[in-house]
Homo-oligomer: A and B are copies of this chain.
């Protein structure tokens, strides 16, 4: 993510040629509907594809009842899309023929490309170059394909269509994995969820999950986006797609797998090991509005809950229940999910208590099994929750009772009235009923869950979607001019470089003689610390290059010589740039502020308290660079030990303004420094009641390569 460059724009709309083509040529078309080259034809024939299917196979005149052509050149018209189901080595020639014909996209079912090694990689690159030469988008290779129910387009060889076709609906699925994407689609079908678009991206030579998200963001039929993603390679494209989806008011529920650290991080700095690949992706995704899900079930639960497109930004939950137990279960889950359940206003409670003396009208509102005898009680409690309680979301626990033939019709009618009266609320039921009864409640405008805990998690997620959509884009700090030195600078030079970007160190001077050191100390004020400065020494303490608590002139003079003598022995080859004399600051809280470079997402900032807190407790906040002071402050306050900075246990509160400013400025510095910057460690940063100062600074950068 290069913040100096203008944001690139992406032509997500061009995926229309892949996902909603007016005509499609199938190269390698088969008469057998069970073969890879036969399946999409069979599926489109029974799925009611609204465009023209153009089979290509030199050995046949007819395929599955359609006229078949010997070659792409022989086609009677220009196909908007091409599906290729032949061996990898034949593909370059076919892609070229499609390009010549004016085709706009190719879907490469074929395997045997980059996933198999160097030879395949070469063919993949060749195919891509040819396609791009003609301005065609490429899906795959090694993809299971796509479908789009709205136009009856089934450019896929997934055998899941043999079981059942997907339902029409407003959910789209984008998946890197073909089989897992098809699995998601099949589970959605079983659950009665209309996942009407599926894109599986395979090797992602061109089209990625990000492109699919971007296209769905602009699609008329998709309102809710589910994505399965293993890793990221193009951060800019993913961010552009996510921002497009957010701007379109469409939530993205993402299962990002590979959460466990792969240990493949090549970055050597301390900061890098703290960040971790998945944590970086997590921070970026959260910033760009993704709701990350734990598993498939949660993804589809959330997608289901989003069907009403009600996303309460200031969410609160009222639970109406016929079982005290269910109310407690729901409350527990709401607390875990961070979903507030404020109590009903006192007057409303008093009124309900009169209606039902043994009920519990706080929240949960328990109208007890009495509601089964007198449905008006349930209605009264629910209306009171919506009107007097003002809850943005409501969960009614009715269990199998709602499935009863005697109660269901009346209950459905009541619920339908409530739905009409409160159109902006998120309304959910927890019931056990057969499919027909369930559908009827859904048609009355309610979400239906059988598990109260799952219902609460989904309701909480809709609130997070609302918050995400309401969030203002973060203000970016102005980037400083940064000119990195040709090689990694020493501490003194690093601090000087950072000072230009407004990042404060303790007052300090560099001395080249004992007399200069004494003069510097006198000027700075005692006590001082003294540290060896050398481009060859990072860990100064380890080799005896640091002296603390130097209280007077004599100490300083002696320390100067001692440091030189010691370092002369312990690091005889090191080039010595001088000795740093700094005012010794004390008190305050030691923090660590660092930058590491993620291979995909670029510079990432890490904040934590020093020592044990980062090394043992891993209590850190991370964020991609750059970010403003408000974000920096949120990061600082998000660590578990934040209370140590805000005045816990009788301490003076640290200067959070100064700390946040430093963190934000460092993020801007890192963003401006360009890709040669590998890492920065400010460790410790001393956060005082007034001011924050970097007591040490390490900047690691790649050596400059002269042109």
Q: Which residues of A are at the interface with B, using a C-beta cutoff of 8 A?
A: 111, 115-116, 159-160, 162-163, 175-183, 186-187, 190, 228, 230, 255, 257-260, 294-297, 322-326, 328-329, 331-333, 335-336, 358, 369, 372, 399-401, 403-404, 432, 450-454, 611-612, 615-617, 619, 640-641, 643-644, 648-649
Contact = CB atoms under 8 A, between A and B. Distances in A.
Contact of A612 (B295, B328, B336, B649): B649
Contacts of A115: 358
Contact of A332 (B179, B257, B616): B257
A179 B612 contact: no
Secondary structure at the A interface, as helix, strand, loop or mixed, is helix
Given A297-B454, A335-B259, A325 B228 contact: yes
A323 B259 contact: no
Contacts of A612: 641, 644, 648-649
Nearest to A231: B328
Contact of A260 (B175, B260, B335): B335
B641 A177 contact: no
Contacts of A332: 257-260
Nearest to A191: B450
A175 B403 CA distance: 22
Given A295-B453, A329-B257, A450-B187, A324 B177 contact: yes
Contacts of A644: 612, 616
A186 B230 contact: no
A187 B432 contact: yes
Contacts of A403: 163
A188 to B, nearest CB: 10
Contacts of A615: 648-649
Contacts of A641: 612, 616-617
A183 B295 contact: no
30 contacts: A115-B358, A160-B400, A160-B432, A163-B403, A178-B325, A179-B326, A179-B369, A179-B399, A180-B323, A180-B325, A180-B326, A180-B329, A182-B400, A183-B399, A186-B399, A190-B450, A255-B329, A257-B325, A258-B332, A259-B332, A259-B335, A260-B331, A295-B453, A297-B453, A297-B454, A611-B649, A615-B649, A616-B643, A616-B644, A617-B619
A212 to B, nearest CB: 15
Nearest to A176: B325
A404 B159 contact: yes
A235 B223 CA distance: 52
A162 B228 contact: no
A187 to B, nearest CB: 6
B358 A400 contact: no
A175 B641 CA distance: 39
Nearest to A618: B640
A193 to B, nearest CB: 13
Given A399-B179, A615-B649, A333 B295 contact: yes
B295 A329 contact: yes
Contact of A451 (B177, B295, B643): B295
Nearest to A161: B400
When A and B form their complex, which 3 residue pairs have the shortest distance between CB atoms, in order from nearest? A177-B325, A179-B323, A180-B325
B335 A452 contact: no
Nearest to A325: B177
Given A177-B325, A178-B325, A295-B333, 9 more contacts: A180-B325, A183-B432, A186-B399, A257-B325, A257-B332, A260-B335, A295-B452, A295-B454, A616-B648
A706 B655 CA distance: 57
Nearest to A261: B335
Contacts of A329: 180, 255, 257, 295-296
A177 B297 contact: no
B451 A296 contact: yes
Contacts of A257: 325, 328-329, 332
A271 to B, nearest CB: 17
A230 B329 CA distance: 9
